[in-house]
Every structure is written in structure tokens, then in C-alpha cells.
Structure 1
Amino acid sequence: MLAADLALAAGVALLGLGVEELDSGGPVRMALGAAAVFPLVLLRRRLPAATLVAAAAVGPFLPGTVLVTLPLGWSAGRRIVGAGRALAAFVLAFLASVGFGVLEQWSGMRPLLVVVFTTLMFLVTTVMPGLASRYWSQRRTLLQALQERNRQLLRERAMVAGQARLRERQRIAQDMHDSLGHQLALISVHTGALEVDPELTDRQREAVGVLRQASVSAMHELREAVGILRDGVEAPAPVEEAHPAARGVAGIAGIVEAARSAGTDVRLGTAGTPRPLAAACDHAAYRIVQEALTNAYKHAPGAAIAVELRYEDDSLVVEVANGPAPAAAAGAVVSGGQGLTGLRERARLVGGMVHAGATGDGGFRIAGVLPYGAEPAGAEDAADDFGQQERGLAGGPPMDWAAVDRELAVRGRSRAGGLALGCGIAVAAVVALLIVFAAMIALFIGSANNAMISRADYDRVRVGDSEQSVRDRLPDGDSFLTDGLDRKGPPRPGGSECLALMSVDDSDFGTDTVFRFCFKDGKLVDKQSYEAEH
């Protein structure tokens, strides 16, 4: 920040030296102007009003500081708190600029021209940057406030949505616990009692034991699912389970062995070098085999089942195929109709896919392809419980696309309004500059008409003519162009009053031809023609 301010001050000071050179300023005035620029620029952030008024006050005496009002006006418009204070600072700076300008130019120009010229310059170099800066600052502050409010609304919406999801999950968990828990408990109790029935054969008792173990495992799985629904985290494996059910590839052998114990012809095959999978992919492989075996039990009871795990270069292929059913299943088959849909969705969320279809021999085949990687695919467009999309940002609130659209619309309108206002300010600045240039041209032409004559006019005037007749034929010389020219030539006659005019026929750059007429006692007593430097 300091380096930028120093660079800005150096640039303004360098331009100010050029202004001083055009105004024929001496070395002392150039040094004072350059020295005044640096503290004004460096203090404009801490003291915006004071530096603005100070620059307006010293500007008429040090023309080299005229350009510093541009950054000072910008800082004052942006940093002065309160419209009343800003207006007071700009009005005070304007009065200082006009007052000291009239005071400094009182002897060389008409006060009205000084007031008009100073007012136009103040509008262009100070008021326009101040208005533009204040508008830009207020617009940025308003936009930041709107963005913060939008973020707060999104956070509040996320909290409300999270609470709603939690209540819905707790309701689902309670329903599952009350309905399925009761039924599974009854199954476990009855199969436990049936297992010790002395009238059962060993094979029947073994089958009943498999059913009881399945009901116990289902109870534990239900307990874990209920815990996840209630708390949002996976519950640890229950300690009372003698053989905890693995939820990954390692557990596939267990469910295959359980199916064999129940009398189903199931074969498990593995190809390739086993590789570790991400937790979600590992669990998906287990669920694919579990759902495929369940489908085979329901739709093709007694059919042989082949389970195969193939570790490919970039993915694990899980394939479960069963042959045609030896006989039609007795009774209606109870099916929820969502098993394969759930498998496809589970595989899609981990970047894989599931294919299911009939085989040529009348059987059925389910195959899943699961990547080894841990990055879930499609998470960025996964829908939440309310059917709205969420951004895949860790810990971030859900993206409210409607709010984003509204914000973009507001920004579009604000940009259009800002563009219109900016164009208005630019047009006003251009108009003001044109007025200033026109006033400067008019001032220069008027001053030139009051300050210049031709060589022929000079020659027609004779020493000894009356002062009144000479003044009637010559301009009055009331111009800043002739200020001090009467003192640059040869010595003036004692007690005389002189009129100095410039020649319209000058062709040399850097010097002016001056015609001086000196009067005493109502007559022209001397006239001189000489060269004077600018």
C-alpha cells in the first residue's frame, strides 16, 4: 500500500512539474509543489477531508498540485463517513479553491472569470471523482451485505433442512424398530423353540438353526440401520453376536456358507489377485451378492447358484448366476420390487454399474462392476431428501439454486443500473471538460484581443500624441498575457505610466515581441519595441 501511494505521488508530482513549466513557474515553486504532493497523497486515507481542503487551498498558489485533487477527491468520496460530512468537506474545499484563486489572480484577471474557471475545474477534478468513488463504495458495501445475508439464509436453511431430515429419519427408525423388530423377535423365539423339539430330525434341526441364526443376524442389522437413521453414524458391531456379519467382500464367503447349510447348491469362485476396496465399494459388493442370493431363493428355489469374484485391473466384477428353477415355486413370491433398483443406485454412487438379465438356459444373472478407487461418482448431482441438489463441498451448506438465480438477477440489474450511472457520470465529466476547454478558449481569445497589436498599429503611434488618443486606438492591455511585460524591457521614463502589448506577428518560440507605450502628463513620452522571454 505504501509503495503504491509513493508511486502515485511520484507520478502526480512529475505531471505537476510539467504544469509548472507551462505556467512559467520558477524552481522554488516547482520544488514546493512537488514537496506538497507527497504528504497530501500519503495522508489521504487517514485524513481525507483535511487533505482535500488543504489541496484546494494551496492549488491556486502552486499550480503543480492541481492534479493531486483527482486521487484526493476519490479518497474523500469513498472514506468520509456520512453524506453531510462529505458535503461539508467538498463545499469547504470549493470555497477555499475559489477564494484563494480569486485572491491570487486578483491583479491579473477579472474575478468573475476566475470564479467560473475555478468552479468548472473543481467539478471535473474533484467532484466527479468523489461522486464516482462514493457510488462505487456504496455499491460494493451493499453487494457484500447482500452476499452475507444470502450466506446466512443458506446456513439457516441448511439447519432447518437438517432438522427436518433428522426428524424424518427418527420417525422411519421408530417405525422399523416397532414393526420389523417385533416380527424378527417372534421369528427368533419360535425358531429357537422349534430347534430343541425332540421330534425333529438332525437335518431339520440344522435348517431351523440356520433360520434362527439368520433372524438373529437380521435383528443386529436392523439395530445398526436404526442407529444410523437416528444418529447419522454407523453403529459398532454388537458384542453379543457370536459370528458378526461382515459387510464387505470378506463376508461373502459367510453368506455362501450359510446358503449351503440351508441346502442350496452354491459355488464361490475367485479370479485374480485380491485388492483392497474403498469402504463404500466393499459394502456394495456384499449387498450385490446378498440381493442376488435372495432373488435366487425367491424366484428359483432349488436351482444351483454360482458366485464369482473377478479382480480386474481397474475394477472388481461381482457376478451371481443361477440356473432355471427345477419346479415352480409354491405360492406367491413376496417381493418389494426395489432390490435391483437399490443395487443400481448403490453401484452408481460409488462409480460402478450393475447389470441384471435372463440367461440363455432360463436362469438369471446379476453382475456388478465396482472400481477400486474411493472417489464417489455422481455425488455432485445426488439429490437430498427434499429432491434438491447439493454441492459436493465438505461441510458446506446445500446450494440453493433458486437463491443463486435471484442473486444473479439482482446482480444483472445492479450491473445495468451501475453501467447507466457510470455512463451518466462519464458523460457529465466529458461535458464539464468541454465547458472548461470552451471557457479557457474564450478566456484566451478575450485576453489575446486585449493584449495584441500589429507592427503597423505600433508604427502609427507617434511620441507626443495625447494619451487619450493613443489609448483609444490601442487595446486596454487588461490580460494575463501581458502581466509584467512592461518591466522586462529598457528602463522606463521617470514618473511615467506604461502600457505593454504583444505583437501578433511573433514567429519565434520562447520569446515575445513587446510594444511598450509610456505616458506622462497626458502625453506619450516614450515607445519601445523589444523581445521578452515567456
Structure 2
Amino acid sequence: MWPTGRIVGESLLSLALTLLAVAAGLADDQGMLPAIGIGLAAGLLSLLRRGLPASVLLATGAGSAPFFGFAPLLLVVAWSAGRRIDGLGRACGAFGLAYGLTLALSMLSGPNTSWSILALAAMFLLIAILVPGLAGRYWSQRRTLTDTLHEYNAQLLRERVMLVGQARMLERQRIAQDMHDSLGHQLALIAVHTGALEVDRELTGQQREAVGVLREASVAAMHELRDVVGVLRAGEDAGRTGGSAQGAGGEEPGTPSRGVAGIDSLAEASRRAGSDVEIRRSGEVRPLAPTADHAAYRVVQEGLTNAHKHAPGTPITIGLRYEPDSLVVEVANGPVAVPVGGGVASGRQGLTGLEERARLIGGMVHAGPTADGGFRLAGVLPYTSSGDGFPSPPPGDATPTFVAAQSDFRAQNPAGSAGDSDPVIDWNALPKELAKAVNRTKRGNGIAIGCGVVALVAVVLVIVVVVAGVFLVREVDKAMIDPEQYDAVTVGQTEESVRELLPQGDSFLNTGPGDGAPPVPDGAKCLTLLSSDFGSSWDAEPVFRFCFKDGKLIEKKSFETA
């Protein structure tokens, strides 16, 4: 189905061609009814030119020979046929047949026409048929070449994404193996030795409690390491790696929860280590997506870790505020009385990891000092998430509350900057690359060669048109005079003086007196020239004739011929 704009455009074009055909038919003295018939036929052929380009081209060319009203339509049809006839051979055959048929019918419609007039008509038809066709075909091939280049670009982007993904997966597997082999062994030793030390009878109750905290921390670290290794190997978030063998919430039985429900366990562990930790909750509790739930746990965990390392002994406040569109998680500690020395190990990567984790679910993280000299770490996490590591699209046309600038591979393609569509397939809505990839190189080379040939032919045609124009102007100067030149000549002048004032008349445009010329005086030789004025009708041609006898001008006449 055509869109509304195309329907309106085609209707207006058909109406315009109909009116032009009627006007040209009336100017050609066809009569009112024949002119209207020619106009209706032109309008119908205009509507059919898209579906039947070759047939409409032949019909228009054949109709333009006897009926001048088809001339405007011929230009439009030739352009359209050049765009829509598939294959170089079919296009050459269709245009060659249309040109030959039109020229042959032009010869049959005027049996007394000279060869010079036919040559001029052949040149005119060459311009009227082949030039619009070549222009349309060049435009079509240029558009096809542009689409092919876009397909090539999309294919390269897809291949690049695949290579990057494969490299990332291999690197994840390598890192996972290194972590499993090194950290796993060390944490297992810590857990075993702290477990044995916890039952030592020589330890006091406070020491045994501290050793128990260390053992639980090492066991929790082993579970964390196992989850991280699983994420690296599977390439999925920890919240989505739970299988049927896991317990509720994606955690195995007996392991601490790594979501909002596990924040109490983190606070309790910090209290057992000697810190004053308070949890403040506000708002109506709402469920979070697994990725957001896990991110909230990581924010609290990172905040507590930083407070223990950089502000030991200060009171810590954990805040959970359930806002209408997001969960705000805060970890704030008071000012440090005695600055901690520089021996505390810090990789300075925790906050960066939290920012990336929050960005991927459509949230944000902020860290900075408080007014009283303490430190505050806060995360704003939306309730809904697509679960695949990217922000969920907002409902309708609403703008999401939290927007983070894309800094991954999608930023390299401007087409993917808006919406959540895949930028790699914006130019390929249908899965067709695999079947067409084999022939793309050939087709691209063929299109490039075709465009070059079209450009060469266009240059040649332009040269031919310029040369023909110059030749036609020279021929007009040889065969045509103004009425003032005719009036300046008087009967009785010598033939030599008259011929000096007039052109020789040896031009293909000067075909003789034509039908309706008066008889030539006996024994006289006459020179017939065309007039620069228009005749009294479309078919009437004004002519000037000069007849000489015995070296003098004996007669000059002005008349019209058919």
C-alpha cells in the first residue's frame, strides 16, 4: 500500500501531465475531443509507470510520434523506467526498443520529411528518452550503492561486537581461573585455621568471638568468590545465575543473602567487630529487580568496608529510603578523631565498580564528605530493571528519572544513541545478511562499474548536445532571415548584390518551398529562405522566396507552406 504522501503526489503529477497533454493537443490542432483523449491516456500511463515501467515506456514512445501531447509524459516515464527496470540488459533492450519504435513511427508519420529533419528528430529523441533514463538509472544505482555501504558498515559492526564479546569471554575465563586457583586456596586455609583456632580452650571469650567473626568473614568471602567466578565464567549477573538447585532468592541454603535482606547480616557482623551500626528504614517496602537488589547489598557492603578501613570506631548509619520511583541506600559514618595512617590497603576500585553497576541498571552512586566531617556513600536504584544489565525503557514517552551517558560500544554508533534498539542492526531490519553476504562484493563492484558507465555516457551526451546546439545555430543562420532583410531587397537589383545581403540557403533546415508555394517564373532560379517569425498556425511555416533571371531579381514573394 502506498503512503498518503505518495498517493497525493502521484495524483497531482497525473493531473498535471493530463492538463499538459490536453494543452499540447490543442496547440497541435488535434481538436477538443482528441486532445482530451490524449490527456486521459497520458494520466493513466503516468499512474501505471511504476508497476509496468518497460511497457509504459514503449506505449508512451509510440504515442509521442503521432501525438505531440505525449512529449511531457515521455520525459517522466523515461526517468521512472531508468529507476525501475532491473538488469542492465533489460534496461538497454527496453530503451533501445522504445527509441527505435519512436523514431520509426516518426518517419512513417511524415513520409515527405527529409533525412536532415529525421536526423534532428533522432537527436531530439535521444535526449528526450535516453538522458532521463540514464539520469534515473544513475540515481537508482547511487541509492543502491549507498544502501550496500550501509549494509557493509552494519556487517563490520556486528563482526566487531562478536570479536569484542569473544575476547571479553576469554579474558573472563582466564581471570576466573586465576581467582579460583589463588584466592580460593588462601581463603580456604583462613577458614580452616580460624575454625580450628575458635575451639582452642586457651582463648578467652572475647578472643573466641573475634576469631568467630574472622571465620564467618572468610566463609562469606569464599561464597562471594564463588559467585564472582560464576559471573566471570557465565557472563551473567550474580542475581541471574541461580538455578533450580538454589534456594529462594537465588541463594543456596545456609549462605547469607546478597540483597536488601542481607543488609541486617552485614550490620550484625560489623557490630560483632566492635562498630556502632544503626539501620534506619523509611517508606513503604517494595520489591526490587535482582540486579538492583544485589546492587543495594553491594553499596552497603562497600560503605561499611570503607568506614572500617578509613574511620574505625566511628558510628555508622545505614539508611534505606523507599521513594516512589527508587530505593535510596545510604551509608554514613561520623568524623574521625584520629586520622588513620597510610598503611591501610585500598585498591580504589570499589566506588568505580559501584558506579558502573548502578549505571547498568539505570541508577547512580554518589560519595563525598558530610557537613560534620564524616563521609557518606549513597546509591539511587530504580525498582524496575530489564535484568539484562541495561536500563529498562520508560513507559510511554516518559523520561527516566536517572539517565547515565552510554560509554560502552553503543556510543560509537550515533544510530544507537536514542532508545534501546540495537545500533548494529538499525540498517538491517530483516535477517538477510547470511544469504546475501557471499554476493555483496560482486554486486558492489557491478554497481560501481555501472555508475562509472552511466557517468561516462552522461558526459558523452552532454558533449553531443553542445555540439548539436552549435551546429543547429549555424544551420539556422544559413537558412533563416528576418522580415527586415526581406523588405530591404527590391526587385530589379542585381543577383550579385542581393545574394551578398542574404545567406546561401544551403542548410538541411531549408527543404524547399513546401506545399502551397506559388509557381516559379519561367526560366528563373529561386532562393527559398525561412522566416524568423511564427506562422499564422502551428502547421504553417512562413517562407521568403527570391527568383533571379538574367542576373537580376525579377520576383520576391512571402507566403506560408505546410
Q: CA deviation at 1:123?
A: 3.0
Q: CA deviation at 1:133?
A: 0.5
In the alignment, is residue 169 of structure 1 matched against residue 182 of structure 2? no
Tell me the SS of whatever aligns to 1:269.
Answer: strand
Could you list the runs of 5+ residues in structure 1 that have no partner in the other structure?
401-413, 461-474, 488-500, 516-530
Match of 2:433?
A: none
Match of 2:213?
A: 210
Q: 1:366 aligns with which of 358, 376, 381?
A: 376
In the alignment, is residue 266 of structure 1 matched against residue 271 of structure 2? no
1:49 and 1:273 map into 2 onto residues whose CA distance is 72
In the alignment, is residue 156 of structure 1 matched against residue 159 of structure 2? yes
Q: CA deviation at 1:150?
A: 1.5
Match of 1:464?
A: none
**Which structure 2 residues correspond to residues 110-129 of structure 1 after superposition, within 5 A?**
110-115=114-119, 117-129=120-132
Match of 2:422?
A: 396
Q: 1:80 aligns with which of 68, 82, 85?
A: 85
In the alignment, is residue 33 of structure 1 matched against residue 44 of structure 2? no
2:302 and 2:541 map into 1 onto residues whose CA distance is 110
RMSD: 5.4
Q: Deviations over 1:482-530 (max 9, x none)?
A: 977689xxxxxxxxxxxxx9xx9x9997799999xxxxxxxxxxxxxxx
**Letter of the aligned partner of 1:120 in structure 2?**
M
1:8 and 1:347 map into 2 onto residues whose CA distance is 57
Cα–Cα, structure 1 residues 514 and 332, in superposed 2: closer, same or farther, change >3 Å? closer
- The 8 Å contact of residues 198 and 208 in structure 2, kept in 1 or not, is answered as yes
1:187 and 1:308 map into 2 onto residues whose CA distance is 32
Give me the identity figure in percent.
41
Q: 1:320 aligns with which of 323, 332, 337?
A: 332
**Letter of the aligned partner of 2:23 in structure 1?**
G
Match of 1:17?
A: 22
Match of 1:183?
A: 186
1:65 and 1:134 map into 2 onto residues whose CA distance is 22
Tell me the SS of whatever aligns to 1:381.
Answer: coil
**Letter of the aligned partner of 1:100 in structure 2?**
L
- The 8 Å contact of residues 266 and 307 in structure 1, kept in 2 or not, is answered as yes
In the alignment, is residue 355 of structure 1 matched against residue 367 of structure 2? yes
Q: CA deviation at 1:49?
A: 4.0
Cα–Cα, structure 1 residues 17 and 358, in superposed 2: closer, same or farther, change >3 Å? closer
Q: CA deviation at 1:200?
A: 3.6
- The 8 Å contact of residues 357 and 366 in structure 1, kept in 2 or not, is answered as yes
Cα–Cα, structure 1 residues 38 and 441, in superposed 2: closer, same or farther, change >3 Å? farther
Q: 1:230 aligns with which of 230, 233, 244?
A: 233
Q: Which moved more, 1:88-97 or 1:236-245?
A: 236-245
**Letter of the aligned partner of 1:236 in structure 2?**
G
Q: Which moved more, 1:279-288 or 1:142-151?
A: 279-288
**Letter of the aligned partner of 1:206 in structure 2?**
E
Cα–Cα, structure 1 residues 348 and 9, in superposed 2: closer, same or farther, change >3 Å? closer
Match of 1:67?
A: 72
1:437 and 1:124 map into 2 onto residues whose CA distance is 16
2:17 and 2:114 map into 1 onto residues whose CA distance is 30
Q: CA deviation at 1:167?
A: 0.9
**Letter of the aligned partner of 1:141 in structure 2?**
T
Could you list the runs of 5+ residues in structure 2 that have no partner in the other structure?
385-390, 392-401, 427-446, 493-504, 519-527, 544-558
In the alignment, is residue 138 of structure 1 matched against residue 141 of structure 2? yes
Match of 1:333?
A: 344
- The 8 Å contact of residues 303 and 326 in structure 1, kept in 2 or not, is answered as no
Tell me the SS of whatever aligns to 2:214.
Answer: helix
TM-score normalised over the length of structure 1: 0.68
**Letter of the aligned partner of 2:109 in structure 1?**
E
Q: CA deviation at 1:34?
A: 3.8
Match of 1:94?
A: 99
Q: CA deviation at 1:204?
A: 3.4
Q: CA deviation at 1:154?
A: 1.3
Cα–Cα, structure 1 residues 148 and 25, in superposed 2: closer, same or farther, change >3 Å? same
1:242 and 1:325 map into 2 onto residues whose CA distance is 41
Higher gyration radius (CA) = 1
Q: How many residues align?
A: 473
- The 8 Å contact of residues 26 and 32 in structure 2, kept in 1 or not, is answered as no
- The 8 Å contact of residues 77 and 130 in structure 1, kept in 2 or not, is answered as yes
